[in-house]
Amino acid sequence: MDVHILCELLDRNGYDSASILTAAGISPDILSRHDSEITRQQELDLHTLFAATTRDRLDIWVECGRRNTFRAWGDFGMANITAPTLSHVRYLAETHGGGTGRYPAVREDGLFTGLAIAFDHHLAPGTPGHLFEVVREAIAGVVLYTELWGAPFPFADIQVPAETAAFGLSDYVDAPIRYGEGPLLFAWPVELDKVPLPHGDQLLHQQYVAKLDRSDMRPVPGKSIEVLVSDALERMIDVHSGLDGVAAELGISRRTLQRRLTESGIDFRRVRASVRLKRAADMLRSSDATISEIASLVGYLEVSSFSHAFRRWSGESPRQYRRRWLSPTEVIGPPVRHGHGTGLVRSRAVC
């Protein structure tokens, strides 16, 4: 999501975008420099702060999704726009689709195919940051596929994580919504995969893909270095694994790993802490281990340190997080709907 759009929405609705940018480690001067770039971590922090600030404004979250367009995504966006078919679009997502909250995986079976988006491991399920990403990506997906198709896209359905059921997203998208466990999943009949797209151009598409291939943004196609490190840490039993261990797991040198992290603005210790806390959250939801036992299992010597870190990560103490997940009646309310029923995504112009 473009920084300018987020700040425009904040300012228009009475929030102070400058203070939120500063809290995310971004200079407010960026708004006057359209060619400026921010790091991956700054982008994630901005999204998290934006979500926390606007947590009671579903209308703002929906507009964030509706403001998405492939034309704002540089060469990756143009490669999508010029894709000859949906199978080319799926390949692009699989090989070049990394970004904040966007780690796509292609889904295929006998009747349906599509794209699944698993959300950033830094975002604890049910927190404002996670809920914002789900809402934004669900709305944006309908907008973007409509842009590709040249008409309302004929989804089979869109599977949305169950924790957003109270938001009533079906009021905002012209597609069947199904709530369930797992990632956000856009599914369509497999026979649509080979239908020529109206803006498809094989030659231009190949040129944009070649530019992406030369960009050297990823050490392995389809995954950012942060996701690769996170995946490696999740596979490793030792919660204290350092750069040497992760580099060995990835089959690269420690120096190369450190360089990749530095180039992407990624703090290894923060990624490792997030993996530990995600593991702790899984245990809080699915086991009867005590909080003290869980703290020890994920590498904390003191329960107080664990509780403090977990609260910073999820917005709740470990005890509150467990109680909310184990008590179905204790639900954190969804954002209040402002402008309910203002129209479906298909009625909004895409440009």
The pair of structure tokens assigned to 91 is 């390949």
3-state secondary structure of 154: coil
Digit-coded pLDDT (tens) for 149-175: 999 999 999 999 888 889 999 999 889
Distances (CA, A) of 238 to 242, 250, 260, 278: 9, 15, 23, 15
> b or e along 10-29 (b: 16 or more beta carbons within 10 Å of the residue's beta carbon)?
beeeebebbebbeebebeee
Distances (CA, A) of 183 to 73, 120, 138, 171, 179: 23, 11, 11, 20, 10
Confidence of residue 333 (pLDDT cuts 50, 70, 90): very low
Would you say 135 and 144 are in contact if contact means Cβ atoms under 8 Å apart?
no
CATH code: domain 271-328 is: 1.10.10.60
The pair of structure tokens assigned to 296 is 């020890």
Same CATH fold assignment for domains 219-266 and 271-328: yes
Confidence of residue 56 (pLDDT cuts 50, 70, 90): very high
The whole-model pTM stands at 0.64
Every domain of the chain and the residues it spans: 1-54, 72-217, 219-266, 271-328
Digit-coded pLDDT (tens) for 175-202: 999 998 778 899 999 999 999 999 999 9
Strand order in the sheet with 112-118: 103-108, 112-118, 184-189, 157-161, 177-180
pLDDT (0 to 100) of residue 107 = 64
Would you say 55 and 334 are in contact if contact means Cβ atoms under 8 Å apart?
no
**What does the alpha-carbon distance between residue 149 and residue 85 come to, in Å, rounded to a whole number?**
10
Digit-coded pLDDT (tens) for 305-314: 999 999 888 8
Mutual orientation of helices 86-96 and 202-214 as an angle, nearest 10°? 10
Confidence of residue 32 (pLDDT cuts 50, 70, 90): confident
pLDDT (0 to 100) of residue 96 = 72
Please count the other Cβ atoms lying within 10 Å of the Cβ belonging to residue 118.
Answer: 15
pLDDT (0 to 100) of residue 338 = 44
Digit-coded pLDDT (tens) for 269-294: 999 998 899 889 888 988 889 999 99
**What does the alpha-carbon distance between residue 19 and residue 27 come to, in Å, rounded to a whole number?**
10
Instruction: Give me the CATH topology for the region 219-266.
Output: Arc Repressor Mutant, subunit A (1.10.10)
